[in-house]
Amino acid sequence: MMIDILIVEDEMPIRELLRMSLTGAGYRCICCDNGLKAADLLEGNTYDLILLDIMLPGMDGFELMEFIRLLDIPTIFITAKRDVSDKVKGLRMGAEDYIVKPFDIQELLARVEGVLRRHGKLDAQLSVGGLEINTESMQVSRAGEVIPLTHKEYEILLLFARNPGIVLYKTVIYERIWGGEYPEHTRTVELHVQRMKKKVGWEEKIKPVYAVGYRLEV
């Protein structure tokens, strides 16, 4: 099931960064650069999560929050570093969390995942490609048999399991699992993916996509 995230941010580079990072992590993103347009979108559509900037043309994030609260959609405020009082106000108004610009992508993804989990939008138990994955006990099994994996292999598996049919770039896998920039000439991602797919029996299911990444076909 796709998770839909509405991004409301008028600064194009930040909006694009959010969109690219979240799309890379398997979420479906809808972007908007104006508070009034966001209100229109919210009237006709449902979203699982909203990333909401505060200073916006049309209608600001606080005004929009009044409206969002009625819809009961979990919201993360995006605030500028200087506006500490905004964070407090945002949380008091019912925002679930906030991130401060400039933000770290890993942190953003972790916050998004945390909020989605708290709202029961990410299942603890996943059934993908013949595997049962329990994200609370971090246990993977096939037909009742537990498959021992290293922590990294487990994390990579989970990334694929949450993004079936989507191309996961090696750079994205590296950034999500190891953090930091993708080093040149590294075979780390290839080696871990090879080992993981062999252990869980996904040799035929994880297909290479050109030289850039992989796709789980289930």
User: Which H or E element spans position 192?
Assistant: helix 188-200
Nearest distance from C-beta of residue 55 to Ca ion, angstroms: 4
Residue 60 touching Ca ion (CB under 5 A): no
Please, which residue, 9 or 48, has the CB nearer to Ca ion? 9
- The residue (of 53 and 86) whose beta carbon lies closer to Ca ion is 53
Q: Does 83 bind Ca ion (CB under 5 A)?
A: no
Q: Which residues pair with 23 in a beta bridge?
A: none
Q: Measure Cα distances from 6 to 32, 45, 75 in Å.
A: 8, 10, 9
Measured from the CB atom, the residue of 53 and 153 that comes closer to Ca ion is 53
In 3-state terms, what secondary structure has residue 3? coil
CB atoms near residue 45 (< 10 Å) = 10
**Residue 80 within binding range of Ca ion, rule CB under 5 A:** no
Please tell me whether residue 53 binds Ca ion under the rule CB under 5 A.
yes
Q: Report in angstroms how near the CB of residue 12 gets to Ca ion at its nearest.
A: 10
Task: Decide if residue 105 touches Ca ion (CB under 5 A).
Answer: no
47 to each of 32, 44, 114, 118, 147, how far by Cα in Å? 13, 10, 16, 15, 35
Choose between 4 and 33: whose C-beta lies nearer to Ca ion: 33
Residues at the contact surface with Ca ion, assessed by CB under 5 A = 10, 53, 55
